[in-house]
Each structure stands twice: as structure tokens, then as C-alpha cells.
Amino acid sequence: MTYTVGHYLGERLAQIGLKDHFAVAGDYNLVLLDQLLEIDGLRQVYCCNELNCGFSAEGYARANGAGAAVVTFSVGALSALNAIGGAYAENLPVILISGAPNSNDHGSGHILHHTIGTPDYSYQLEIAKRLTCAAVSITSAEDAPVLIDHAIRTALREKKPAYIEIACNVAPMPCPRPGPVGAILADAPSDPETLKLAVDELASFIAARKKPIMLVGSRLRAAGCEDAAIRLADALGCAVTTMAAAKSFFPEDHPAYAGTYWGDVSSPGAQQIFDWADGVLCLAPVFNDYSTVGWTAWPKGDNVALMDARHIAAGGKAFDGVHLRDVIEGLIDRLKGQPKKDATLVEYHRIKTPEAPVAAAEPNAPLVRAEMARQIQGLLTSDTSVIAETGDSWFNAIQMKLPHGARVELEMQWGHIGWSVPATFGYAVAAPERRIIAMIGDGSFQLTAQEVAQMVRLKLPVIIFLVNNRGYTIEVQIHDGPYNNIKNWDYAGLMSVFNAEDGHGKGFRATTGAEMEKAIAAAVANREGPTLIECVIDRDDCTSDLISWGRRVATANARPPAAR
């Protein structure tokens, strides 16, 4: 058998740990898909459309570390690029692979189908360059290995998406086999001198403070430092808060865990202890309008040390070219034998008011949000992953108490409604051993609903809580108008459409606590496919956090233009 460019790409994907890749067929990628099918241990998984294909790969990357989506030129790739923007925002190495025009057509003056109708096909590559950390176009087999390796290596290092387009006639061309995977995994080490200086600075930052606190940020996973953060917390002894988008990046059963710090919508006691601290170690944070609650809670100034994946800023100094994990290890080493700086943890336990468990609602009373959240909370186990969509599902998920090992996935930087359906599909493909729960609003679901059919196809026992509150409730709280009302669907009924003649998905509508409980029992028992539970609640029945946060974000959005 001739070894080809397509094989090279497929083998590299398998080498970096991909067992699956997501695809939508089109004539520019068919031959490439044939080549990829020939790679041992690499399954081809199909999606209903390219936006979903990109988000499926993004969800897969959340569970597996990296993902790949294969699409056709322009009509496919331009849709997938939205999800690639999301992967960039969310720090996930997703490789977008697009079939491309025949190499002989590039520069020929030919006008081709699926293009904008001009003979210049470079526009897709140009767009991809803005949304990825590496974008390459392969029009000859000779150049393929170096270009493929460059794109994949850069994505893995930067934890950002990359783009590879392959001319449709080049995919089956002969190509050498790839070498050891180490060639694309190897990373430049921290600069030892800078590392020492950065650790010195952070050690004196801590030494000069009596009440330090840690803040775990949403880039911590991408920095590969979740375990290191736990050891740093143990070494310091202080309280640890997490940012909303970093939910589950620090174990909530850890004795130092002090809840979600999110300005006015922090979990009980977290804002008070954060404000009481005299120094904050921010681990890989992202401070945007959402995470700072409309710029009202933005930790900055002399008492803040920023510890990013490759960059440290503390005490008015900046250090580049160091890996966060090396910095943390160095710091832990310095803290050895020193008394614990546990003031914030001690104080947190003093001020925290014990939360009363939510009482079960009257079983036959109309379903309310609090009862819905209570029942979902009851489903969480140490092998559960909750994928929570933009909307009040964010706030419901952030308020959950996570048992050790439970994970929450949020897309708070990109915030594309509809993300969670394909992302849940991709996540479930990557982690079939976990209990996977999706929480999705009705408005969001309408964007990407068809991907539930792929969960049916692959018999994935995902549980979807579809919140039917008849509209865009988060938008209602920020700024209401007729555009926030949506056409109602028979969401539970959709499952029979997706099942068709051979599926085993189940759909239920819950209008009371008792109905929801019954539906959950059936969902847990259904191992042959997804179960969608449509939870019917009132249009204004949302978390109080959403109302407070929404008001602050709306105020930030409404700032008038500055005078010139």
C-alpha cells in the first residue's frame, strides 16, 4: 500500500492521542477521508453540519486534550471556523482540516464551485490565520510533513486551534512516514535564569503578606497546572477561590476550597474573603467583562500577582518564557518548612454561613428552577461531567456542589449559544466511561438540536436537561424585547424524529418535580442512547445571580461613547 499525505496526517493525529476525528463529507475532502479511514485506531465520526463538527471536536478536546474536524472547502470550512474561533477563545487545540481545490487550479484563473466565484482561493486561509495559531495550505506532497507537523506542534504548545488545508489531489500522493511523536510534542524549557527571578519575586510577594489567597483561572487546565495548583495550595495553606469559568479546575472537596469568586455573584463567603485578603495569586485568569461582572470585580494593582501559562507579573516586574508549572514547582520548593499562610482559610471558615440543603418541592407542584437544579445536583457523581450552555444553565451549573472528580465544562469566553449540544456529543465520544449531563436552554438548543441525532447513532447515554422557559431568559434580564421570545417546540417529541427506525433515544417532558424524578430514573436506566428531559419552568424563573450579573453586564454594555 502506498503511504500518503492523508496517512501522514492521520497517523500524526493518532500519535497525539486522538482515537476519533469528526467529519462532514464534501467533494474536496472525500479522498482525504478515505485515507484517514485507513489509519488503525482512528475512528471517523460524522456530524450533521460543519458548525457542529467544529464544536464536537472542541468538546472532544476538552475531554481528551486535543481534537480534529475534517470539512470541505468554504461552504463547510467557513461554518466550522466559528467553532474554531471558540476553540481559540477557550484555549483548546482543535485541528481544523479542510479539503481544498486541486493543486493545478491554484493560480490558474479557474473559477470553482463552493468558492466565492473568483479565481483566488486564498481567502479561507487568510480568515483561518486570524482564528488559529498556525494555518497552512498543502499543495504538494513534498511540503506536507513539515507543514502538518508545524500546525499540530504549534496547536499543542499554544493550546490553540490550527488549520490545515490540503488540495484534494494531494491527499492521496506518496509521502514518507512520520517519525516519533516526540518531535511534535517537545517544548522549549523555561529559561532557568528568568525562572529563578520569577520564583524569587513571587516568594517575596508572599513573604510580604499576611493574608494571601489563591484565585484559580480558566486557563489553568490549558496551562497543564491543575495538579500543581493543588500542591501549591497545600504548601501555602491559604484559601483557594475559583473563577466562574474555572469551575471544577480545583477540587471542591479540598480543605482549602473557598468557593467561586465572581464579584457580587460569588458563592457565599467567597467575595468577603477575597476582599479581606492582602495579596492574590491569580493562576491563569481571564479578566473579561463577564468574569469581572461588568468590570466591577477586576483584581489588579500591587496586591495582585498574575501567574499565566508562560508569563509572570508581580511586584511591578514581568517575567516571560517560563512555564507556569516550573514556577509553581519552584515556589512550592521555596515554601517548604515555612509556616502556613492560612489566615484567609481560617477566616473563611469563620464567616461562611452554612448553607441549608434545598428542600424537595411538593412533588405535584409546577416545576420550578430550584427544584430542577436540586434534582440535577442529586445526579452528580465523581465520574460526572456537566456541560452547561450559555444562559441560566451557567448559573445553575456554577452553583452545583461538585463531588471529587466531577467536572463542569463552560464556554464562557466565546459564549456561542448552541455550543453545548455538539460539544456534549464530542465530549461523550471522548469519555464514554463518564456520566455526561448537558444543561441547555430552549433558545440555545434550537441552534444545534440536530446533533442529538448523532448521539442516537452512536448510542451515547447522555442526559440532556432542556430548560423550556419559553425564550432567551438571560437576554430578558439584560435587555428585554420581542426578540427574546422564541417559537416553542415539542422538544421531548423530537427524540422520536431522531430515533427514526433504529434509535433508542428517549424524550420526556417534566412539568412537576415528580415527573422530573421519573424521567431521571428512566434516563439513568437508558444505556442505549441519549435521554432528553424537557423541564418546563416559568419565563422569569431564573437564578438571582443571573439577575444581578445581568444588570451589571448591561450597565457595562450601555456606557455612552466617551466624549472626544
Question: In 10 A of CB 75, how many CB atoms?
Answer: 15
Nearer CB in complex with Mg ion: 278/538: 538
Q: Are strands 304-307 and 311-314 parallel, antiparallel or unpaired?
A: antiparallel
Chain residues 328-347 in contact with Mg ion, contact rule CB under 5 A: none
Smaller CB distance to ligand DPX: residue 465 or 508? 465
Closer to Mg ion by CB, 329 or 392: give it: 392
Residue from 101, 441, 461, 507 binding Mg ion (CB under 5 A): 441
DSSP E strand boundaries for 17-152: 20-23, 43-46, 67-71, 94-100, 134-138
Spatial CB neighbours of 432, under 8 Å, sequence gap ≥ 6: 460
Nearer to ligand DPX, 85 or 269 (CB): 85
442 binds Mg ion (CB under 5 A): yes
DSSP per-residue codes, 373-416: HHHHHTT--TTEEEEE-TTHHHHHHHTSPPPTT-EEEE-TTT--
Task: Work out whether 263 is an interface residue with Mg ion (CB under 5 A).
Answer: no
Of 21-29, 300-308, 321-329, 439-447, the segment contacting ligand DPX by CB under 6 A is 439-447
- Of 40, 94, 32, 38, nearest to 63 (Cα)? 94
What minimum distance in Å lies between the beta carbon of 376 and ligand DPX?
14
- Burial (0-12, 13-18, 19+ Cβ within 10 Å), 26: buried
- Best CA proximity match to 156, nearest among 15, 331, 338, 340: 15
Nearer to ligand DPX, 252 or 442 (CB): 442
475 binds, among Mg ion, ligand DPX, none (CB under 5 to 8 A by kind): ligand DPX
Q: Is 80 in the site for ligand DPX (CB under 6 A)?
A: no
User: What mask of x and - would describe binding to ligand DPX in positions 472 to 501, judged by CB under 6 A?
Assistant: xxxx--------------------------
Residue 448 near ligand DPX by CB under 6 A:
no
Instruction: Determine if 507 is a binding residue for ligand DPX (CB under 6 A).
Output: no
Whichever of 34 and 475 has its CB closer to ligand DPX, that residue is 475
Instruction: Reduce the DSSP state of residue 146 to 3 states and report it.
Output: helix
469 binds ligand DPX (CB under 6 A): yes
Helices (H), 237-292: 270-276
Which of 94-102, 148-156, 181-189, 412-420 is the region at the interface with ligand DPX (rule: CB under 6 A)? Answer: 412-420
To ligand DPX, the closest distance from the beta carbon of 17 in angstroms equals: 30
415 binds, among Mg ion, ligand DPX, none (CB under 5 to 8 A by kind): ligand DPX
Residue type, 500: A
Q: Is the dihedral of CA 437, 439, 444, 446 positive or negative?
A: positive
Q: Does 285 bind Mg ion (CB under 5 A)?
A: no
**C-alpha–C-alpha distance, residues 410 and 388, integer Å:** 6
3-state DSSP helix/strand/coil percent for the chain, to nearest 5? 40, 20, 45
Q: What is the rounded CA–CA span in Å between residue 24 and residue 47?
A: 6
Q: Does 436 bind ligand DPX (CB under 6 A)?
A: no
State how far the alpha carbon of 236 is from the alpha carbons of 219, 252, 378, in Å. Answer: 21, 17, 33
Residue 297 interface partner, choices Mg ion, ligand DPX, none, CB cut-off 5-8 Å depending on type? none
Cα 262–Cα 267–Cα 272 angle in degrees, nearest 5: 75
Among 415, 458, 489, 548, binds ligand DPX (CB under 6 A): 415
Interface with Mg ion includes 271 (CB under 5 A)? no
With the C-alpha atoms ordered 212, 350, 274, 380, is the resulting torsion angle positive or negative?
A: positive
Sign of CA dihedral 299, 302, 305, 311: positive
* Among residues 64, 469, 484, 512, the one that binds Mg ion under rule CB under 5 A: 469
Burial 344-360 (b: 16+ CB within 10 A, else e): bbebbeeebeeeeeeee
Residue 407 bridge partners (DSSP): 385
How many residues touch Mg ion (CB under 5 A)? 5
Q: How far is the CB of 412 from Mg ion (least distance, A)?
A: 17
Binding mask 374-413 for Mg ion (x = CB under 5 A): ----------------------------------------
Q: Cα(186)–Cα(149) distance, rounded to whole angstroms?
A: 12
Instruction: Work out whether 152 is an interface residue with ligand DPX (CB under 6 A).
Output: no
**Residue 9 binds what, of ligand DPX, Mg ion, none (CB under 5 to 8 Å, by partner type)?**
none
Q: Closest distance between Mg ion and the C-beta of residue 483, in Å? A: 13
Three cell numbers written together for 500: 427514526
Q: Which of 411, 442, 451, 515 binds ligand DPX (CB under 6 A)?
A: 442
Min. distance of Cβ 53 from ligand DPX in angstroms? Answer: 16
Is position 416 an interface residue for ligand DPX (rule: CB under 6 A)?
yes
Residue 96 near residue 124 (C-beta atoms within 8 A): no
Question: Interface with Mg ion by CB under 5 A: which range of 139-147, 170-178, 262-270, 464-472?
Answer: 464-472
Smallest separation (angstroms) from Mg ion to the CB of 425: 21
Decide: 259 and 241 in contact? Cβ < 8 Å: yes
> Per CB under 5 A, does 550 bind Mg ion?
no
Give the C-alpha separation, 498 to 41, whole Å.
28
- Considering only the stretches 228-236, 263-271, 423-431, 438-446, report the one whose residues sit in contact with ligand DPX under the rule CB under 6 A: 438-446
Residue among 158 and 389 whose Cβ is closer to ligand DPX = 389
Between CA 469 and CA 62 the distance in angstroms is 28
- CA dist., res. 406 & res. 467, Å (int): 22
- Of 39-47, 160-168, 427-435, 468-476, the segment contacting ligand DPX by CB under 6 A is 468-476
Q: Name the minimum Å distance from CB 449 to Mg ion.
A: 13
Is 444 a residue that touches ligand DPX (CB under 6 A)?
yes
Binding site for Mg ion (CB under 5 A): 441-443, 469, 473
Binding site for ligand DPX (CB under 6 A): 389-393, 415-417, 441-444, 467, 469, 472-475
